[in-house]
Structure formats: structure tokens, C-alpha cells
Chains A and B, each alone.
Chain A
Amino acid sequence: MNKVLAGFVLVALIISSMAIIGLADAFKVAFVTPSTINDSAWSQSMYDALVTIQNEMGKDNFQFVYSENMYVISDAAAAIRDYASQGYNLVIAHGSQYGGSLVDIAPDFPNTAFAWGSTANTFSDQGITNIFSYQPYSEQGGYVNGVLAAKLSETGMMGVIGPIETGDAKRYTEGFQAGVMATDPDAKVSVTWTGSYSDVSLSAETARTMIKAGADVLTGTSQMVIGAIGVAKKEGAIWFGYDVDQAPLAPEIVVSSVVVDWTVALRPMIAAIQSGTMGGKVYDLTLANGGLKIAVNAEGLVGKTIQAIINGDIVVGE
């Protein structure tokens, strides 16, 4: 009898202590990214998503750390390995340049899940089971911007300033071109690749050259485009944004921005990890699932009209 009781007590103790440990163990994420978390583009969009998730789950249940400025891939690989060995639940390598490093590192840490993008490759064909991937269907957002751009352009010429012809930037640009062509087959879209994600000066001069050549609507991707936005603002050309809502940079000229909401990939990814799946899934971010959103400039005509209706300044119907 005593032995049975002692057995029950022991089991109860074990279960309750496991529960306590379980509660105390927050879900821990490490985030490695090539630029800074305040870049108004790629890195900031993921950082903002992590902050959102933390607010949803609470600081006790979700913690994250980050390493920014990891543009040197070997530095990033060292950071990824460090985080994995410290027992983080999920390590996000936020850049398509980090794939090679993950293939090396992930198999050594079966209890850590890794995620990277933009790509559909989880390396499951190489037998790796703990890598997730994510990919925004940037062409969908690009198409929407393209349709609007073609409608708004008076000269019929538009310019796209991209970094390197690959990944997100390429998909967005192709979508933008398709949207323009579907709306105005006679329009011209000039695409320029600057060869750099960070050459603000080159992006500014490219914008200036495009405007000189007759473009009155511009768009572009990566953190260097702030140079182009500055020029567009000065010259009065229309700008369409990507990655984050870029209207605050130039409220007078930004019409809309394609915003990537990474929480749409992060929420199911975290749920999968908590239920024991460590990788092998691709998370798409689309207009249909809300992973891509079109942010309308609140200080533009559409935004102001919406706000006026909400405030009751405009009453529609009776």
C-alpha cells in the first residue's frame, strides 16, 4: 500500500515538474539576417513579424534574438551554428545565400529546426529533415502594383530598380511587368539591375536617369531603393513599394506597397515544431493566405477616403 502510494506520489511529482519545466521553457527563436532590422525592407519585415508573434504569445512563451549585418556568409554560418548549439528551437537564416551553410549545419543539430528563404528547397531530397523554407509569391503583389502603375502613368513609361536578377526581386519584377502589360500593352517597363542590395547612390542615379528618359512611375526592391525613393519624391514621380509599407518615407508619392507578412509562415511553422515536425515543409506567402498584403498609403487618396468614411466625415448611402 505504502509502495503504491509512494509510486503515485513519484509519478505525480514527475508529471508536475515536467509541466513546470514545460511552462518555463519558452519557444526560442534565433534570427540571422544580412542587413539591419531597421532597413525598411527585407530584414525589417521579418523582425516586425517576430515582434508580432511575441506580442501574441507573450514574452514568457516566446523569445527571440537576432544577428544583423550578416552579409558575410561565413559569419552568418558561425552565428547559425552558435545558436543551434545553444539549444534554440528554431533558427531562421533569412536569405537565399545561406542555403549552403544550412546543409552543413542542420544535420548536426537534429533537435533544432531551421528555416530559410526565399526558396521552395527544404533539402529533404538530401535526406535532411529539420529545414523549413518559405517563399513569398512576390509576383502576385508585383502584378497588383503593375496594374495600378499602368493606370496612373501618363507617359506610359515605368521603371523598376532591382538589386540582382534572382529570388524575390526577380519574381516581383516579372509580376510587375505582367501587370503593366495586361493593363496597357503599349506601355514600356524599363528594368535596371544595380548589382548590389546596398548601393543607395546607384539606385538614386538610376531613378534620376529613368525619370529623364520619360518614366513617371517607379518601383523597386531591396534596401538600396531608399535612394530612388528620395529622387522620386524630389522629382514628383509615383512610387510603388515592396517588403514593408514605404509610404512613411515619402507620403506624397507612394501609392501602395506590397508587404510581406511573415507571421503567416511563422505561426504554422512554430505549431509544427511544437508538435514534433522539425522541417520538410514549404510555406508560401500569397495574397490568398494573407502572407502578402497590399498596404495602401494612408495619406494618399485611397487611404484618406477610407479614413474619412471610418471617421464619418463621408457618409455613403443612407
Chain B
Amino acid sequence: MSWSIIIGILSSGIRLATPYLYAAVGETIGQLSGVVNLGVDGVMLMGAYVAFFVALRTGSLSLGLIAAAGMGGVFGLIMAFISVTLKAEQGISGIGLYLFGLGLSTFLFGITIRNVQTIDGFPDLAIPGLSRIPVIGEIFFQHNILVYVAFALIPIAWFLLNKTPFGLKVRAVGQNPEAADSLGVNVARVRYLTVTLGGMLSGVAGASLSIALLNTFQQNLTNGMGFIAVALVYFGGWRPVLVFAGALLFSTVNALQIWLQVAGINVPSDVALMLPYIVTILVLAAMAKRRVNAPAALNKRFERGES
């Protein structure tokens, strides 16, 4: 295996990981506060659709991106309203949100854009200096802006969750909402904030597909990526750095299996396609004992005054 192939696989892995990073970091923040949102894939689809539609009509990719974050935020608010205010069962309402996003994005695409089209998305941006470093430069520093932002998100999320008063509140609400409440933390407000922020990041995850990586929109563009993102949160044990590692591992093995087929290596395509999932399951099994970080109040509704 030559260097150029390894570089190609690693650089593919980074691109493929990008949407997962946004969605999984957003989901991590929400889950740390105690809310599971299984509707990530539907929110991503709405973000992807809105970003593409706005970029196509206005010619502005930035406006598309902002619209996607806004739409994701609205969907996050809907989820927060259902799960925090109405106290509905989170798993079921998340699935409902997914189906709503899938249906609505397909419907809106059908009536506004109608036929599949392509646009020029965010261009690749070689970082001056850094992109010239042999190997490293080609793997890490020749991507579009949304790829860089996704990677910057990991330390930001880590800092936000571990080093700020807000992060402390989020984790307190996720571990023991009653105690947090008795200390004067507004549990509902914290959860509204985290779930809305998670929705915004899912919206951007969708935009990263439709106006940066794939530059098109089609019904069910995400093809279930949102569910992989939720799985990555568990995989990473609710720590942004490990979620990041999981996303990279999954995507790099995916890039490897693409390369195996393209290079004509004699592996049946069905086996090649299974590789990312098999590797992920193996790693998950190996790390099973380390899952101590789970928010204690995850998936539980909070009633004020209950013990």
C-alpha cells in the first residue's frame, strides 16, 4: 500500500466524518442534560433541504448555512417542547420528529425545487503554509470550511461542557435534576437550551452535506446518518473527544472499504460494506466496561417537586 493511497483514505475519512461530528456533538450536549433526541436524522434532512434551497435561490452559501442552523434550532425547540414541557416519552417523540423531518423535507423539495439539481458548494480551502506540509497537509488541510469548523467544534464542546458554569449546569441537570433544581438551576431552561443547540448543530450537519460535501439535495439525502450519529454518542461515552474518535474510526474504515473495491482487491462488495459496522461493534464491545459516564437522568422526565 503506497503513501498516496493511505493519504487518500485518511483524507476521505475526514470528509466522511464531518456530518457525524456536527450531529454527534449536538446530540452529546443534549444527552448530557438528560434528553435523548432520536430525531437527529430528520433534523439533518430539514437542515440539508433549507440550506440547499436558500443557497440555490439567493446564491449565498452563508445564508444557506444560517438558515439550516435556524431550521435545526426550530426543530430542536419542537423536541424540547414535546419532551421537556409536555414530558412525552423521548424515544417515541424522537422517532416522530425524524419521520416529520423526512416527510416535510421530501414534500418541500417536491413543491419548491422539484427536480434534482446541483450547485457549487463551499470550495476547498487549502490553509496557507499548513497545507504544504507533506502527508499531514494533504490529509488535514485541504478541505472546505465546514470540515475545519467540525474539527474545531471538538475542543470547543469539551471546553463548554467541562470548563464553564453552563457545562456544569448541563451535567448537573443530566445527572441529578432534583438536586440541580434545589440549588436553583432552572432544569427546563437548561434542557431547552441544550436540545435547541443540538438541533442547530444537526441542521448544520445537514447543510455540510447539501452545500459543502455533496452539493445537491435529494429525498432522504442523509440515508440514516443521524442514527449513526446517535450511536456515536453512546460509542464515545458522552465525551466529545471519544465521540470524535468514534466518528473518525467509522468513517476511515468506510473510506478503506471504498478503496478496497475501487482498487479491485478481491473482497466481495457485501463484505467490504459490512466492515465499518463490524469494526465499530468490535471496538464498542471491547470498551463496554468503560461506560461509566452515562447521565443518570438520561431519558427520564423531570417533575418538579417529585422526589
Contact = CB atoms under 8 A, between A and B. Distances in A.
A39 B218 contact: yes
Contacts of B110: 36, 38
A86 to B, nearest CB: 24
A205 interface: yes
Given A209-B12, A213-B259, A226-B118, 14 more contacts: A38-B110, A39-B218, A40-B116, A191-B261, A192-B258, A200-B223, A201-B213, A205-B254, A210-B262, A223-B116, A227-B214, A227-B216, A233-B118, A249-B116
B96 interface: no
B273 A208 contact: no
A195 B223 contact: no
Contact of A204 (B214, B262, B269): B214
Interface string A199-227: 11110111011101100000000010011
Contacts of B117: 248-249
B106 A190 contact: no
Interface string B247-262: 0000000110011011
A198 B217 CA distance: 12
Contact of B258 (A202, A227, A230): A202
Given A39-B218, A205-B255, A249-B118, A194 B106 contact: no
B43 to A, nearest CB: 17
Contact of B16 (A191, A205, A230, A249): A205
Interface in A1-59: 35-36, 38-40, 44
A193 interface: yes
B40 interface: no
B8 A209 contact: yes
B106 A201 contact: no
Nearest to B251: A205
Interface of A: 35-36, 38-40, 44, 69, 159, 165, 190-196, 198-202, 204-206, 208-210, 212-213, 223, 226-227, 229-230, 233-234, 248-250
25 contacts: A36-B110, A36-B219, A38-B109, A39-B116, A40-B116, A190-B261, A190-B264, A191-B261, A195-B269, A198-B220, A200-B216, A201-B16, A205-B12, A205-B16, A205-B255, A206-B258, A206-B262, A209-B8, A209-B255, A209-B258, A212-B4, A212-B8, A226-B118, A248-B117, A249-B117
B115 interface: yes
Given A40-B116, A209-B8, A223 B218 contact: yes
Dominant SS among interface residues on chain B: helix
Contact of B209 (A192, A193, A201, A209): A201
Contacts of A227: 214, 216
A52 to B, nearest CB: 17
A102 B183 CA distance: 64
Nearest to B219: A36
Interface in B251-292: 254-255, 258-259, 261-264, 269-270, 273
B221 interface: yes
B218 A226 contact: yes
Find the residue from A159, A165, A204 having the highest chain B CB count within 10 A.
A204
Identify the 8 closest CB pairs spanning chains A and B, nearest first.
A193-B269, A40-B116, A192-B261, A195-B273, A230-B215, A212-B8, A199-B223, A36-B219
B270 A195 contact: yes
A201 B12 contact: no
Contact of A205 (B118, B215, B216, B258): B258
Given A36-B219, A209-B255, A194 B213 contact: no
B269 A226 contact: no
Interface string B6-25: 00100010011001000000
A46 to B, nearest CB: 15
Contacts of A36: 106, 110, 219
Contacts of A213: 8, 259, 262-263
B114 interface: yes
Nearest to B221: A200
Interface string B176-195: 00000000000000000000
A9 B120 CA distance: 72
A234 B16 CA distance: 17
Contacts of A39: 116, 218-219
Interface string B118-131: 10100000000000
B97 interface: no
Nearest to A249: B118
B118 A165 contact: no
Interface in B167-215: 209, 213-215
A35 B110 CA distance: 12
B50 interface: no
A192 B269 contact: yes
Contacts of A159: 262
B12 A226 contact: no
